[in-house]
Structure 1
Amino acid sequence: MTLSLVKSLKLHDQKVWSIDVSRGLLATSSSDRKIKLVNLKHQKFNVIEELDDSAHKKTVRSVAWRPHSHILAAGSFDSTISIWGKEENADYIDGELDTELLAIIEGHDNEVKSVAWSHDGFFLASCSRDKSVWIWEADEAGEEFECISVLQEHSQDVKHVVWHPSQALLASSSYDDTVRIWREHDDDWECAAVLAGHEGTVWCSDFAKSEGPNVRLCSASDDGTVRIWRYVEEDPDNEYEQIWEFEAVLPAVHTRSIYSVSWGSDGRIASVGSDGKVVVYKEVRKGSWEVQEEVSECHGVYEVNVVKWAEIDGRTVLVTGGDDGCTNIWTCN
């Protein structure tokens, strides 16, 4: 496999922190407080809209598209979350999105580091430097949000949240070197498992996209490793806890902190970090992985903060965002 740079988009004047792609539409966020929306269909790569940067007073750290909709959530270092939407039938290929600010969500006491929607779009999760994870119940229009649970079992800054692609499971990654798995129990949310083993901050995690009982998660850390975890069974001694096991550590390629990891629908994993590399791994047999591709200086001399697999025009691409303010699109030949 060969990674080839298709397009480098200079969308921001400062660091690109977060990217998300849905329906061929790219959203990016940055330290410059701006959110850019870009059409990726047919390789047009044109900026459709720049959202009002007065909505947030500080860095916009995370953006996430709500599944099956044109609603976007954004989390900021100003401790708030903004919700954006547009007219459902608006043409975003050649016209304006007409995106409006639908809601501002308040509750966290410190910087919001990550936001993520559940697979059905019913829940929004957020995490913060205040050491907490909040779960919000959303109405269909994306205008009303009710906090239904505040999860405070992490002992340090929570860096990232991600939902399982088809189950009501949430993973949170933290400065306390752990990943926690959360699920609903008796109308509340409880910690079902603690994944401990990293020797540094866990910056990001992502679930495998496969269906069925074989639930797996990858995690990326300050310790320079990507680890794979596997769900084993329900804990026979506790009705809401689960037993998870460490399954594998991916080949050591990164020389510094790994900031972001993405598990693609075809089973490949991509990682990026402060060493400026993008690395793609492939599982050759159960629990055994090899490096399929490694590209150094994928954003020049700058650190790379985020990576995401995406489907555009029927093909798989990688999207990366870096400290250079650029969002890069890569094909995987």
Structure 2
Amino acid sequence: MQLFIHRQKTKDYSDKRFPDAMIELVESLALHKDKVWSLDDSNGLLATGSTDRCIKIVNLKSSRQVIDELDDTVHKKTIRSVAWRPASCLLAAGSFDSTISIWGKDDSSNDYTSTMADFEMELLAIIEGHENEVKSVAWSYDGTYLASCSRDKSVWIWETDEMGEEYECISVLQEHSQDVKHVVWHPSLHLLASSSYDDTIRIWKEFDDDWEAAAILNGHEGTVWCSDFEKSESSIRLCSGSDDRTVRIWKFAGDSEDDEQEWTCEATLPQVHTRAVYSVAWGPNGLIASTGSDGTLAVYQEVNGVWNVVAKTKQCHGTHEVNVVKWTTVDGVTMLITGGDDGHVNIWKYTNL
């Protein structure tokens, strides 16, 4: 199978002024005793994972209080990644102890109250297979598949049942030559992206009942820490963040059913970060947010095919590194959520000026 990637000359956006929007800190939640590595939200519930081995569930809709603390004896090491299964109250957590835990609520009610006594999740399964630290877990859009990646250089795809209690590994993907940092699914296709210490991104899809690399994206000049798909049905694009301090946009040209996928590096976004970019998030609003080792939180907007920085805030967790950023909507208000080395989760309001 042939794999294609073309590079495009980087455009110069350095003369663009900002802000065109404002990022305002709404609340800083001191949730953990150590680094916050990952967070994910669904149906007004925020899950967070930390070096302290704790997973906390926060009600974002009203109280912003912790309504559950999952058993911190299940994992022996850092919780590196947490992910909600779409349209359910099922949570996957990947750990540096090489395992993945699956948690579920004891009933199907969506009436989440603000007290811990009213909400309780239980351990449903422990998934084993990786030979080293699990760095990321992610659910497919329909909840059929769970993907995981590891320091063991592999990406695993697990198939699960409706209840989320049984897991079968249907593919072990071992084409990365180094530590795999992150996995993410397309929002409406069974298309998976993995980011690696080998400076590449790989796009995976199913061919004749087997999963294979449909494309290798080359261009970053350092570890690729993260990527995220555009939330659009009209095109297939991916943004990525790297140790080389850049955020890049990759575009797929062709039919999503094509066996041979051709991707191009469509743009390198305006240079904002002075150190590694650890996390990128492509929101349903079309905006991209990035953050990383320099503690800067930036937001980018595309207008007529040109990307500009529209908002930026430095030291958004004080002097600490920021490991993750996510877009969310709470009661109709567009929010950003970040997690940092200070153990805090910060909630930011994004406003167009």
Scaled to the shorter chain, the TM-score interval is: over 0.9
| Gap regions ≥5 residues in structure 2 | 1-20
Quote the offset at 1:240 in angstroms: 2.1
Partner of 1:57: 76
Cα gap change, 1:8 to 1:300, in 2 (>3 Å): same
| Gap regions ≥5 residues in structure 1 | none
SS of the residue corresponding to residue 198 of structure 2 reads coil
Name which of structure 1's ranges 46-55 and 226-235 shifts more when overlaid on structure 2: 226-235
Partner of 2:48: 28
Partner of 2:332: 314
SS of the residue corresponding to residue 55 of structure 1 reads coil
Give distance in 1, aligned partners of 2:129 and 2:200: 24
Partner of 1:327: 345
Matches within 5 A, 1:179-194: 179-194=201-216
Q: 1:110 aligns with which of 129, 132, 137?
A: 132
Give distance in 1, aligned partners of 2:241 and 2:342: 22
Quote the offset at 1:311 in angstroms: 1.4
Amino acid at match of 1:326: H
Partner of 1:133: 155
1:302 aligns with 2:320: yes
Give distance in 2, aligned partners of 1:234 and 1:140: 30
Give distance in 2, aligned partners of 1:90 and 1:121: 18
Name which of structure 1's ranges 51-60 and 306-315 shifts more when overlaid on structure 2: 306-315
1:252 aligns with 2:271: yes
TM-score by length of 1: 0.97
Whether the 8 Å CA contact 1:91–1:97 is kept in 2: the answer is no
Quote the offset at 1:90 in angstroms: 6.4
Partner of 2:89: 70
Quote the offset at 1:315 in angstroms: 1.8
Give distance in 2, aligned partners of 1:161 and 1:134: 10
SS of the residue corresponding to residue 84 of structure 1 reads strand
Cα gap change, 1:103 to 1:235, in 2 (>3 Å): closer
Partner of 2:240: 219
Partner of 1:230: 251
Cα gap change, 1:296 to 1:242, in 2 (>3 Å): same
Whether the 8 Å CA contact 1:20–1:65 is kept in 2: the answer is yes
Partner of 1:47: 66
Quote the offset at 1:316 in angstroms: 1.3
Partner of 2:183: 161
Whether the 8 Å CA contact 1:234–1:243 is kept in 2: the answer is no
Give distance in 1, aligned partners of 2:120 and 2:307: 45
Partner of 2:12: none
Matches within 5 A, 1:193-212: 193-212=215-234
- Per-residue CA deviations over 1:220-251 (Å, capped at 9, x if unaligned) read 00000000000012599xx6220001100000
Quote the offset at 1:78 in angstroms: 0.1
Same amino acid, percent of matched pairs: 68
Give distance in 1, aligned partners of 2:330 and 2:256: 40
Which structure is richer in relative contact order (CA contacts within 8 A, separation 6 or more)?
2
Name which of structure 1's ranges 308-317 and 263-272 shifts more when overlaid on structure 2: 308-317
Give distance in 1, aligned partners of 2:33 and 2:311: 29
Amino acid at match of 1:89: S
Q: 2:293 aligns with which of 249, 274, 281?
A: 274
Cα gap change, 1:13 to 1:242, in 2 (>3 Å): same
Quote the offset at 1:94 in angstroms: 3.1
Amino acid at match of 2:51: S
Give distance in 2, aligned partners of 1:224 and 1:254: 6
Whether the 8 Å CA contact 1:90–1:98 is kept in 2: the answer is no
Give distance in 1, aligned partners of 2:157 and 2:200: 19
SS of the residue corresponding to residue 73 of structure 2 reads helix
CA-based RMSD of the aligned residues comes to 1.2
Amino acid at match of 2:330: I
Give distance in 1, aligned partners of 2:146 and 2:308: 34
Partner of 1:171: 193
TM-score by length of 2: 0.91
Whether the 8 Å CA contact 1:128–1:158 is kept in 2: the answer is yes
1:94 aligns with 2:92: no
Amino acid at match of 2:103: W
